[in-house]
Amino acid sequence: MTHIPAFFRSLTALLLWAFLLVIPVTAQHSMTQTQATQAALTPAEALQMLKDGNERFVNGTMLTRDLMAQVKQTASGQYPFAVVLGCIDSRVPPELVFDQGIGDLLSPRIAGNFVNADILGSMEFATAVAGSKVVVVLGHSSCGAVKGACDHVELGNLTHTLSNIMPAVYAASNDMEGPYTSSNADFVEAVAHMNVQMTVQNILERSPVMAGLVEEGELVVVGAMHDVGTGQVTFMDVNP
């Protein structure tokens, strides 16, 4: 008789503590961006939101999201806070890697994460029109497009696509010992890193629209590398 109520008392206490301590920690909900929240964000805060999101992704502490609720909340307008120019690689989906939801990111993606006039135009919409505060050029480790460029692969239209990465292949070749092929893992990573740096420069040089926003303090442009082995994103210098 005396054991059972004591057991239930401790169980009740345990459940109460679990409810008070664990539930609030594990059930952090995401916030859908609105015109007001987007307007209140500084570029530095927007960048920090991406860093925090990647930390949650790596640690497995992603926010709880009701995606259909976000669909409804964003149906009449979008107020994304960041642009992530990424590779098409299946291992680097920006919304997952940065733990973001519907209406948070504008995500142009192309093999080798470079820019051309059309991609720059999309990014100018994303920043000057849609109001994003940060542009991330996101390269990644073990990039097939970078490996293809290193090996001078030719295949249909892909030949032209990979030609956009060749300036980084040649620049990285000047900085290190060969062989300058995909068999050299250090070279592949150096080219991927160089390609991100050169893409950031291309954005600032070829888009007076985005360069102007940077000048006014309304936008930051930053390169980053995603490690496909760990999920970790390492950021480079802001507005280099």
> Footprint of Zn ion on this chain (CB under 5 A)?
87, 89, 143, 145
Q: Which long-range contacts (CB under 8 A, 24 or more apart) does 71-75 make?
A: 71/102, 73/32, 73/34, 73/102, 73/103, 74/32, 74/102, 74/103
Residue closer to Zn ion by CB (options 15, 88) is 88
DSSP class of residue 66 equals -
Residue closer to Zn ion by CB (options 5, 156) is 156
Nearest distance in Å: CB 118, Zn ion: 19
Nearest distance in Å: CB 233, Zn ion: 14
Residue closer to Zn ion by CB (options 196, 222) is 196
Residue closer to Zn ion by CB (options 80, 86) is 86
Nearest distance in Å: CB 144, Zn ion: 6
> Beta strand pairing status for 105-106 and 82-86?
parallel
The gap from C-alpha 57 to its chain's centroid, in whole angstroms, comes to 11
Nearest distance in Å: CB 140, Zn ion: 6
Residue closer to Zn ion by CB (options 46, 150) is 150
Residue closer to Zn ion by CB (options 89, 189) is 89
Q: With contact defined as beta carbons under 8 Å apart, do 132 and 85 qualify?
A: no
Nearest distance in Å: CB 125, Zn ion: 24
Amino acid at 122: S
Angle, helices 117-124 vs 185-206, to 10°: value is 60
Reading the block at residue 113, the tokens are 């994460």
CA 60/CA 20 separation, integer angstroms: 21
Nearest distance in Å: CB 88, Zn ion: 7
For 64-219, list the strands marked E by DSSP: 82-86, 105-106, 134-140
